[in-house]
Amino acid sequence: DQQYVKLNTNESPYPPSAGVIAALNNKEAADLRLYSDPECKELKKALAGYYGVEPENVYVGNGSDEALNFAFLSYATDGRGVAFADITYGFYPVFADLYHIPVQIVPLKPDFSIDPKDYYGLNKTIVIANPNAPTGLALSRDEMEGIIKANPDSVVVVDEAYVDFGAESCVELTKTYPNLLVVQTFSKSRSMAGARLGYAIGDAALIQDLEAIRFSTNPYNVNRLTLRAGAAALAEQDYYDANCAAIVDTRADTKRRLEALGFTCTDSRANFLFARHPAADGGDLYRRLKERGVLVRRFDAPRIGDYIRITIGTRAQMDALLERLEGLL
Ligand code: PMP
């Protein structure tokens, strides 16, 4: 019923690159009568080239949610269970519930950081979002490597949905550690949330497990237009790198301005800020911002109920947010 400033689902404020728009042309549209390539050959090859791995090390799926879903189903249903943080991406407990997987919750420290040692020798599938959501905090590649090394008989899934906004990727480590699966997405840094395109990089045996599930459920999981758009996006990485740099700048500026208003923010390495104000209730802030046309995300959950998660948009969107917050406070 009104034009919202939409800062609630961590989408990019910038459009896809020109090559992506051009790839979605009339010919591609006419070819929609044909099924998509179930082996996603062109895109797998492009991703493999980009990361210096082989196509057999690449899984391509319908958003990274699908890759994560299949990772839970594939690796974590062996009876040993799965471990993840108490505050992390909300879909992990949903997948675990769906597949009746026993869960070991590993609490974050009071400052929301992860102690890597808490994950050593757990002997079960481990899932870590890095940077974590909704805190935005990231572990270094060395810290992640410690966890991967300390769990040689378990799969470690690293969800890097937000890695391009200032964290260290573990993709390189997949060449050394056969128990590591890194999951990434085109939804955030590559401005394609609506195209639904995610991928995973890992040892060929791990990828085969995901492929087995895909071929047994939905072999045409990525549509023709999205396959094309994904390959086109990879060819224009400079454009996306510049967008990420702009978002990182806007994040720093927004953080400063929020702190000047009395907010405390975590040290986010993602395209969002996680902030609380000592004098404001989180639910109240969320509702009042919504009444004033700004959507942010708030989680009604232990330890984080007073925080709001704010997607980094354009400078103008951030101005609108800050102006409403000033009025409210
Ligand atoms: N992982 C994390 C941590 C996320 O926040 C999201 C976005 N909701 C996803 C994965 C899934 O993103 P997508 O399915 O759009 O790739």
Per-residue pLDDT reduced to its tens digit, 279-327: 999 999 999 999 999 999 999 999 999 999 999 999 999 999 999 999 9
Cis peptide before 134 (omega within 30 of 0): yes
- Rounded CA-CA distance 129/145 in Å is 14
For residue 201, list its beta bridge partners: 58, 182
- Rounded CA-CA distance 86/285 in Å is 23
Kindly report, residue by residue over 117-148, the tens digit of the pLDDT.
999 999 999 999 999 999 999 999 999 999 99
Q: Identify the pLDDT of residue 106.
A: 98
Cβ 193 under 6 angstroms from ligand 1? yes
Mean pLDDT, to the nearest integer, of 231-241? 98
- Rounded CA-CA distance 81/126 in Å is 9
Write out the DSSP string of 14-58.
Answer: SPPPHHHHHHS-HHHHHGGGSPP-TT-HHHHHHHHHHHTS-GGGE
- Return the H-helix or E-strand segment holding 244: helix 237-260
Q: Identify the pLDDT of residue 206.
A: 98
Kindly report, residue by residue over 1-33, the tens digit of the pLDDT.
568 999 999 999 999 999 999 999 989 999 999
Q: Identify the pLDDT of residue 67.
A: 98
Kindly report, residue by residue over 298-307, the tens digit of the pLDDT.
999 999 999 9
Cβ 61 under 6 angstroms from ligand 1? no
Distance from the Cα of residue 205 to its chain's centroid: 23
Q: Identify the pLDDT of residue 103.
A: 98
Q: Identify the pLDDT of residue 11.
A: 98
Would you place residue 195 in the very low, low, confident or very high pLDDT band (cuts 50, 70, 90)? very high
Structure tokens at 18: 């020109």
Portion of the chain with pLDDT greater than 90, in percent: 98
Distance (angstroms) between ligand 1 centre and the Cα of 27 equals 30
Query: From the alpha carbon of 65, which atom of ligand 1 is closest?
Result: 14
Q: Identify the pLDDT of residue 2.
A: 62
Cβ 211 under 6 angstroms from ligand 1? no
Q: Identify the pLDDT of residue 229.
A: 97
The amino acid sitting at 275 is A
Cβ 160 under 6 angstroms from ligand 1? no
Q: Identify the pLDDT of residue 245.
A: 98
Q: Residue 1: exposed, middle, or buried by beta-carbon count in 10 A (0-12, 13-18, 19+)?
A: exposed
For atom 7 of ligand 1, the residue with the nearest CA is 161
Q: Identify the pLDDT of residue 1.
A: 59
Distance (angstroms) between ligand 1 centre and the Cα of 94 equals 13
For atom 8 of ligand 1, the residue with the nearest CA is 9
Kindly report, residue by residue over 104-118, the tens digit of the pLDDT.
999 999 999 999 999
- Rounded CA-CA distance 152/154 in Å is 6
Ligand 1 pocket, mutate which of 9, 12, 64, 92 (most atoms under 8 A from CB): 64
Kindly report, residue by residue over 32-87, the tens digit of the pLDDT.
999 999 999 999 999 999 999 999 999 999 999 999 999 999 999 999 999 999 99
Ligand 1 pocket, mutate which of 87, 91, 199, 274 (most atoms under 8 A from CB): 91
Closest to 222 in 3D by CA, of 42, 95, 102 = 42
Structure tokens at 310: 């704010």
Residues 6+ positions from 216 with CB-CB distance below 8 Å: none
251 — phi, psi (to 5°)?
Answer: -60, -45
Ligand 1 pocket, mutate which of 11, 89, 297, 311 (most atoms under 8 A from CB): 89
- Rounded CA-CA distance 95/68 in Å is 8
Mean pLDDT, to the nearest integer, of 239-265? 98
Distance (angstroms) between ligand 1 centre and the Cα of 170 equals 17
Portion of the chain with pLDDT greater than 70, in percent: 99
Altogether, the residues listed in the chain come to a count of 329
